[in-house]
Structure formats: C-alpha cells, structure tokens
Structure 1
Amino acid sequence: MIPLRWDDRPVGLRDPALVCAFTGWTDAGDCASSALGVLSRRLGAQRAASVDPELLYTMQSYRPRITIQDGISEGLTWPTIELRAAVVPQASRDLLLVTGPEPAMRWRSLCETLVETARSLGARTVVTLGGLLSDVPHTRPVPMTGLATDLELLAGVDAMLPDYDGPTGLTGVVHAEAARQGLAAVSLLAHVPHYVAGVPSPKAALALVEAVETLTGVPVPTERLRDAAARYERQVSDAIDQDPERRELLARLEQMADLRDIVGEADEEDAEELGEALGGDPPLPPLDTDIPSADSIALDFQRYLREQED
C-alpha cells in the first residue's frame, strides 16, 4: 500500500460514502472532475490527506505548476491525489471525496490504500464517476452507463448496463478493489457529445452530481451548476445553428436518441436498424475549434468554477 500524508485525520464520520473521480482518460468534458469539485466546494469539504506525488507521477507528464507575481515566485503546486472529508449535518451520512490526476504508476497500491483508508473511516459504499465521448446530442438528457456490485444499488439512477471487455481507467481499478474488500461499489459514466469533446460539460457534471445525490442521499446545492448547464446547451445550439449541415446531422442524432428511448436499451440493435431505415447519417463531425469552445463555453464554465472557490 502507498502511505498517505495526513493533514487532519477525520473522526466521527457517519457512514461515509467514498466518491472518486480523476482527471484523465475517463473524464470526457471534464465532467467527473468538475462534479467532484462541485461536491467538494458546495459541501465545504476539507482536505484530510494527500499522496506524495513522486510515488505516482513522472514529472515530464504531470509537471508542477509555479505561481509568479511581479517577478517573485510564490510557490509550486504539485500534482497529487487528495482525500477530502465533507461533514453534512443535514444528511444522514457524510462523504469522503478523492480526486486528482490519474497517476502514471502504482494504480493497484493506490487503490488498496484508498479503499482500506475509507473502510477504516467507516465507509461501506464506494462511488466512482467518469465521462466518455459518445454519439449523443447535447439537447437531450445526459445518458449514463452504470455498473455495480449489486444492481439494486443503481435503483433510482437511469443507467444503461454495459457489456464490455477492454482497458479501463483508474476508476475501474477502484471499483474492483472495493468489491475485493467487500464494499458496495457503483461506477457511473456520463455520455458527453463527441462533437464538443474539447469543451467542459457542466450538463454532464450536473447529471453526475444528481446521481451522487440519489445514490448517497446527500443533498447538494446545484443552482449555479444548473445555470451553467443551461448556458452550455444554449451556446452549443447557437453554434450549430450557424451551419445547416450540422443542424441536419444533429437532428439525426436527436432522432436516434429518441428511438433508443422508445425501443429501449435491450433492443439497441433494433434502434440502429430503425435509424438506418429512416435514413440515418454518420455521427455529427467535431465542431471547428473556434465554435465557440475556449472563447465562450469553457471560459464561462471556468468562471463558474472560480465563483465556487473559497
């Protein structure tokens, strides 16, 4: 196991649930890490521990950040995995939040440490969050893929149940380690439109936050995030409306999404056949980088995130 650097080991937590999200491969649209950030800020979570970055990262890939003000260096910020504790008096339980860049090495040891630490603090449930790029329209509710050690844990969450055999991210290893240690585990992946892959998706982040509320029973204030999600949808729609070809292709993605809702997950192949019969076209191509990503949606969401900081 990897040792933790404790700032302040929490005591007296009430049936805490461990919630994890990491930047990297399974964080499309920054939705999982953003959702974790919203949970941390809105619930007043305090950092309890971190991991020595030299145990996890190669610094050529994850360089430290330096802050310079008027020619004077004010310090370094190192990449690391952080454990935060959120005490939520208005709920029947508390939360343990883990986030940071997906490490370059020692995944198994890290996951053993995280799950064992959560168990020692009274956790019996683990939730991991992620995002994946998908052929979905931004104008429909965010689809979710879910897996669990017991499918009853997904009650209340509208999630598709996948069949998959292939590589996984760190969240998959956390899920497997939680199951190995006998904890209840749920993993959720929000689907993000691939044609706005480079844009932060507050709409997907909101869907993940709401799913955490359902799974844990911990209420989270989301008014500002809802506003950001509405602006995101409006701005992407405005960009697509400028291009008749993309409008048509988006309409076909919406048609396919509606067909899946009608036919159902179990008959996905039937939905695809219906779409082809109706003249379905290839997926919507990526938007040009200047519509309206960094200059509009990303800055708007970043501004929202800054407003949440202490």
Structure 2
Amino acid sequence: MSKLERLVHIVDEVPELDAVREAGGDLVMVLVLDGFLDAGNAAARAAQHLTDLSDGPVVATFDVDQLHDYRARRPAMTFARDHYEGYDAPRLVVRQLRDTGGTPYLLLSGPEPDNRWEAFCRAVREVVERLGVTRVVGIGSVPMAVPHTRPIALTPHANDPDLLTTVSPWRGELRIPSSAQALLEIRLGEWGHQAMGFVAHVPHYLAQMDYPLAAAVLLEQVEIAGRLTIDLSGLRAEAEDKEAEIAGYLTANEEVAEVVAALERQYDAFERAEQDGSSLLARDEPLPTGEEIGRQFEQFLAGLDGPQDQQGDTDQERD
C-alpha cells in the first residue's frame, strides 16, 4: 500500500459518478478548507448550506491524523459530570451531492491540513482523476476595510485565465501568506486539471461573526462557474436577518455608525476614482486607523454576541 493510498481512501464504486464519466459529462468539485480564508465564516457556512440541501454519501476520506496539528487546533469534546464523551473528531471528506436540478457534484470540505501540503495535493489529484472531476471550484473570504452597506466585492482566481468569469479588482502583484487551498490550485494546473475560485471581501469589523450574505454571494459564483443550480433562499433569509440586526445596532450606537459612514465615504470615493481613471485614494477621506476601528468595534461585536460570549470577552480583558 502506497503512502498516497494511506492518506486518502476513495470508494471503489460510485455508479452515479461512473455514469457521468462514461457519458463524458462535467463533474464539479467545490473546495472549502476551514482555518485560513474564512472571514465571517462565509465559506464554512456555504459548505454547510450545500450539505443541508443534499446530504449525500462520502466518496473519499482523508487520513486527518497525518494532516492535523491537534495541539494547535484542539477538537472539542464533552465532559459529562465524571467522564469524557462526544469527541468531535476532525473530518476531511469528499461528499457526493446533487443540485436542485439533480445534477451530481462533489464537495471537499474540512480543516485545512497543517502539514504535508504536497502530499495532500497529490491525494486530491488522485480523487480528481479517479472520480472524473473536470473542474475544482474553491471558495474563501478575507477581511477588508469595506462597509457592509455596499455590495460584496470578489477576487476571482484560476490556473487557466479562460476560466475567469469576473474581472479581478487587483492590479499588479501581491505577496500573501500561502494556503493549502491556493497551493492545490497551482498543482492541479501543473497536472492539467482545471481549478478556480473566489474570495469574498468581508467587512473587517464583521470578520469574527457569521456573515451569511458573503456565503450567499460565494455560492452564486459557484453556480456560475460550476453550471449548477443551488437554492439560496434560506441563506438569503439568514442574511436579511443579520443585516437587520446590524442596522439596529448602528442606529443605537452613533460612534460605531460614524466609523461605518467613514468607510462608506472612502468606498464611494474609491469607486468614483476607478470609474474616472484618477487616483484610487480619496485625498479628503482617509480611512479610520486600525486602532480607532478596533476601539469602536469592540463594543459593536459585544453587542451582537450572546451573553455568554460577552462574559468570555470580559474574562479575557481581566486576564
């Protein structure tokens, strides 16, 4: 048994996927790895929404013991009076799902590997080639200095420029921390497999809470890139409730509302400059400093969290 086979176990027979491959059809695999690119829990919430809609069978399982750093990310468990139980073991799996039209697709989700990234990429390659995946679509989200009252921007990326469905907002090159998900896209391209993805720009003051609107926006792009049909009505309802909650808090807290207004002015000035082809920075509307935003939104986040979370924050401050 090879090292690759020990790292991932793939179901030997999946009749529905075999039929797709034999017919020469497309099979999309959505990729969501927790732990890095997930501001506002947008990607994780999107993955959960997909499984809630169609909780299909597991067709591949990765050996998490070889990939996970348990001391850095300790799984939760339950202590019941006088004994331990309910260990939430991390799982990195590929599920077979169906969209609302009955089209099969795959979802690879779970914790981002803490080590053996190259081996993980080779294992995913085995999944792609064994199951006949024709395109991998990854999703993620990052915190940005943008207001929640403006449309969520996206950064598209792909290992083949012909796959891009939208224009990137970035110019030139950026040096950024790497991720297993990004490395996988590079490696799949080197091996001749299509891989692409989208990163949602989440308001940085909402990055630590669930932000379902970003999840919905990401899945809209998955629909387009993967030629799938996904029922987003429930997710959009969650997003409306969250927006109403945020709006109510801003109405009751003028100082926080002023910071959001400053971000709105900066955002609008940036958009005008882009349209006019002039400077991308507004000279008379500087962004609030990180220190200022941090002070204002400590109260903001505390107001949106539950009582238990607020107590936890208070304990941390005393420490």
Q: TM-score if structure 2 supplies the norm length?
A: 0.81
1:165-213 deviations in Å (ceiling 9; x for gaps): 2321121111112111111221211111111221111111111111101
Residue from 236, 258, 262 that aligns with 1:252: 262
Q: Given the alignment of the two structures, is residue 230 of structure 1 paired with residue 240 of structure 2, yes or no?
A: yes
Larger radius of gyration between Structure 1 and Structure 2: 2
Residue in 2 aligned with 1:280? 286
Residue in 2 aligned with 1:4? 8
The 3 A distance-change label for structure 1 pair 177 and 9 is farther
CA distance in 1 between partners of 2:112 and 2:243 (Å): 28
The 3 A distance-change label for structure 1 pair 265 and 149 is farther
Residue in 2 aligned with 1:22? 33
CA distance in 1 between partners of 2:288 and 2:198 (Å): 27
Residue in 2 aligned with 1:170? 180
Residue in 2 aligned with 1:106? 116
Residue in 2 aligned with 1:184? 194
One-letter identity of the residue aligned with 1:270: S
Residue in 2 aligned with 1:294? 305
Residue from 27, 32, 43 that aligns with 1:32: 43
The 3 A distance-change label for structure 1 pair 24 and 9 is farther
Q: Give the secondary-structure state (helix, strand or coil) at the position aligned to 1:65.
A: coil
The 3 A distance-change label for structure 1 pair 266 and 164 is farther
Q: Kindly, what percent of the aligned residue pairs are identical?
A: 26
Residue in 2 aligned with 1:214? 224
Q: Given the alignment of the two structures, is residue 129 of structure 1 paired with residue 135 of structure 2, yes or no?
A: no
Q: TM-score if structure 1 supplies the norm length?
A: 0.83
State the Cα RMSD in Å. 2.7
The 3 A distance-change label for structure 1 pair 39 and 150 is same
Residue 215 (structure 1) shift: 0.8
Residue 154 (structure 1) shift: 2.4
Q: Determine if contact 1:102/1:170 at 8 Å carries over to the other structure.
A: yes
Q: Determine if contact 1:249/1:281 at 8 Å carries over to the other structure.
A: no
Residue in 2 aligned with 1:301? none
The 3 A distance-change label for structure 1 pair 4 and 214 is same
The 3 A distance-change label for structure 1 pair 170 and 216 is same
Q: Determine if contact 1:171/1:187 at 8 Å carries over to the other structure.
A: no
CA distance in 2 between partners of 1:293 and 1:46 (Å): 36
Residue in 2 aligned with 1:194? 204
Residue in 1 aligned with 2:72? 61
One-letter identity of the residue aligned with 2:14: P
Residue 233 (structure 1) shift: 1.7
Count of aligned pairs between the two proteins: 291
Residue 149 (structure 1) shift: 2.4
1:212-269 deviations in Å (ceiling 9; x for gaps): 01111111111111011112222222222333233222122112223333333895x7
Q: Given the alignment of the two structures, is residue 84 of structure 1 paired with residue 95 of structure 2, yes or no?
A: yes
1:25-64 deviations in Å (ceiling 9; x for gaps): 2111111111122122213332222222210112212333
Q: Give the secondary-structure state (helix, strand or coil) at the position aligned to 1:236.
A: helix
Q: Determine if contact 1:198/1:293 at 8 Å carries over to the other structure.
A: no
Q: Determine if contact 2:76/2:88 at 8 Å carries over to the other structure.
A: yes
Residue in 1 aligned with 2:125? 115
Q: Which runs of 5+ in 1 are unaligned?
A: 299-310
CA distance in 2 between partners of 1:280 and 1:202 (Å): 29
Q: Give the secondary-structure state (helix, strand or coil) at the position aligned to 1:214.
A: helix
One-letter identity of the residue aligned with 1:224: G
Q: Give the secondary-structure state (helix, strand or coil) at the position aligned to 1:208.
A: helix
Q: Which runs of 5+ in 2 are unaligned?
A: 21-25, 310-319
The 3 A distance-change label for structure 1 pair 88 and 241 is closer
